[in-house]
Amino acid sequence: RREELAQLRWADCDFQWRSLHIKDKVSEAGRDIPMTPYVASLLASQPRRNEFVFSSPLSAAGYLADPLTPLQRAMLAAGLPNLSPHDLRRSFGTLAEWVEVPAGVVAQLMGHQPSAIAEKHYIVRPLDLLRAWHVKIEAWILEQAGVTFDAQQPGKLRVLTG
């Protein structure tokens, strides 16, 4: 969710164990999700101006409070349709089905409440299990987008055409 990421602090990013602690609208304690290799490379490249990962020197809060305008500019520059952060969130859930990710894993990654009794009381998914699926989703999306990313050499990124 936009609000969950907007306030992401560097202290919430564990690059050693590849996890993010996300503030959650459902649980005050928040939740931990896996940090995928590509996302880790993007976050590591962010400037460290203050405590916030998505900092904004022009914002009174210190972080990018409304990402819609910069997102729209980036999509226009890339020749992509005008999508909102919530559109991208819905796309993640839909695209995960192409990789045959269990629905409960997708729901947990997205921060949804468990919807069935078994999900609430019997199924425990450790971070490493979520990571295995999350990395698989990321790799498939990058492949479909024609993006070559070598997790061993995160600075080397290129788009394949044709």
Q: Which residues have a catalytic role annotated?
A: 1, 23, 86, 89, 112, 122
Closest to 3 measured CA to CA, from 82, 86, 69, 75:
86
Residue 21 pairs with which residues in a beta bridge?
A: 32
Query: Is-contact 30 23, C-beta < 8 A?
Result: yes
Instruction: Please give the order of strands across the beta sheet that includes 31-34.
Output: 13-14, 19-22, 31-34
Closest to 7 measured CA to CA, from 24, 26, 19:
24
